[in-house]
A and B are shown apart, each in its own frame.
Chain A
Amino acid sequence: MKWDEFFVTGDPMIYGADVSIVLTMVGILFYLTKYKKWKWLWDEWLTTVDHKKLGIMYIVSAVLMLFRGGVDALLMRTQLAVPEAKFLDSQHYNEIFTTHGTIMIIFMAMPFLIGLINVVVPLQIGARDVAYPYLNAVSFWTFFIGAMLFNISFVIGGSPSAGWTSYMPLASNELSPGPGQNYYLLGLQIAGIGTLLTGINFLVTILKMRAPGMTLFRMPMFTWSSLVTMVIIIFAFPILTVALALMTFDRLFGSHFFTLQGAGMDMLWANLFWLWGHPEVYIVILPAFGMFSEIISTFSRKTLFGYKAMIWSMLLIAGYSFLVWVHHFFTMGSGALVNSVFSITTMAIGIPTGVKIFNWLFTMYRGKIQFTTPMLWSLGFIVNFVIGGVTGVMLAMAAADYQYHNTYFLVSHFHYVLIAGTVFACFAGLIYWYPKMFGYKLNERIGKWVFWVFTIGFNVCFFPQYFLGLDGMPRRVYTYSEESGWGPLNMVSTIGGFMMGIAFLILVYNMYYSFRYAKRETTGDAWDGRTLEWSTPTAMPPFYNFAKIPEVTGLDHFWRQKQAGKVEKLKAEDIKPIHMPSNSGVPFIMASFFFVAGFGMVFDWMWMAIAGIIGVFATLFYRSFEYDDGYYVSVEEVIETEKISK
């Protein structure tokens, strides 16, 4: 292999990226060395098993990925702003829409939500930790390494270009030669391990680690949504694992699962992909629903309306999510009967979702609404998500879908549900729980600017795309002719896209500004909250979360205690030694071996792949022989941390 096959060459933008990557790396290494931060980095972050720190690392990674995926989006919108633009060539455009889709779903939306779940759920259920703290670190590092492996493709070897759905035979060796598609397969495979482990970890955590008195029907809605999400993960992710593995076999070892030679079946890929892919949509939307439930209830000063209806509707949605996958390919020859069945199941999802929308509205009805930034995002969600949902029902009509299929109408629909659902929730949840993570709120005034610029930009960007789609503009095209008449609306759409980019920059500025100037919280209850995570006396919960495990008597326990003026004060005699798990460097090292193995397979260098896999197993066995029962936090240290006066 020659150097110019290994490194991507020939495009000035890529050279720019190379230079900026090298400069950033040098800058980070210089900073860590100059300020002697290596030990701090290793002890505090790389080896941590604290769910709150892992959650923060998930969120930081997700924000970086939002930047990368966002830059991809803006490059696409720049290319499409005017007819017959020469900004990107067709191959480059294919690569960018592929990485945009994959990164936003797998490496941005899901990790962002899992990060918030990590930070919040153990606190909400009154637990000291998750069920498997060590495994939690393995989950994070395999996700992170998978993301990094996928991301380096654009400077080393070349990006995948077969779309985030990677339909065969387009993704085969013949039509997608080179390592690009392998990056997709291996990056997702490694990150998928982490997601499955998270699913098991949090399912057990929520089932087994709840504080005394917290029955299932006293759990906060965000915890409920996480529980349901974890069940979907556990049954959906193995399907992705298999699908990716089969395609890897096709590409690297000459099997014939999805190829046209050897009597393989390309539609099998489409079915397997969406059997995972459709539930995936609910993996990224249900936690969002949970967050909106918390935020709307908190800032309406009311208990969530229809708590049980909310739970049952969520369970129904989870069940349906496995029964609708064919609606992603109505036009690919399933026949009228199959299409009808999947058309009906798809529309049926609208019913429980409608139940939830009305419950949020009734929660606000006669509430004392506070228009904080998290609340604004939640209100924006309701309006915009309904637009996405209604157009979704339009798409669900199989016969009509023949008109919309693969047009910008579809593109607009799923951006309306995913951005207004998941991304709005990520912003809302981040701002809402920011004081729990960092001890101060983000600035509200700047936050409102972010909200308005982003929401207006979002609508300016995507609403015109419904009309472009109805007018026949296909998705995934890199350019279009003057005569098509799509120019003006595309220009409008691009302007909206850049407004969203500006809003992202304001958000980052807000983080910086608030870090410098925001008033520090003195109690743990920054928003006058309702659920247990707000009941810790210190602004940021200590590493052991609760000095004394709370006892729960009903829904919104903490809120009702506050109303009754009966919040218990911690007393020194209540404190007992707390058992905690030790930090471990093994997850980070194991993930590094995964990187070696993945990188070797991407380039079909089997010696390297085998070395990496041996490394993975070596770390597994090493860990098996390690008997570390953790340590106890002394009563004195707890009293010191909680500032209890004797």
Chain B
Amino acid sequence: MARHVIAPVDELPPGTRKFLTIDERPIAIFNINGEFFGLLNRCPHQGAALCEGPLIGLAQSSDPGEIEYTRLGEILRCPWHGWEFDIRTGQSYCDPKKFRTRAYPVNVEPGASVVKGPYVAETLAVSVESDYVVVDL
């Protein structure tokens, strides 16, 4: 696994994202409240530049009329068709083959407890080393 130094941390303050190409692969690195995440910049649905989409929260409902909006800034929404992905895991939140309103558990933790769709965006491990953002690829 090759390590690529992306940028000094100062150049990627919280709330920003950086687009780059590594080994001809389009990548985006996000700083969300001091945590860094990397995603392949291509939506597994129809190929849009996924990482150009807005970061939103997760609207969930345990019962009709009960809506919770959690994990603000941790869900990436595709700039074309609005598919939502967990920026921590790349896991899709929707399954277009059975597209319907679904109830999710409130207070979902990232990863295993999330209802998984069939598509998973490619995520990259990102770490901070001596004030540099480094991506493992």
- Pairing of A with B: no
Interface residues of A (CB under 8 A from B): none
Interface residues of B (CB under 8 A from A): none
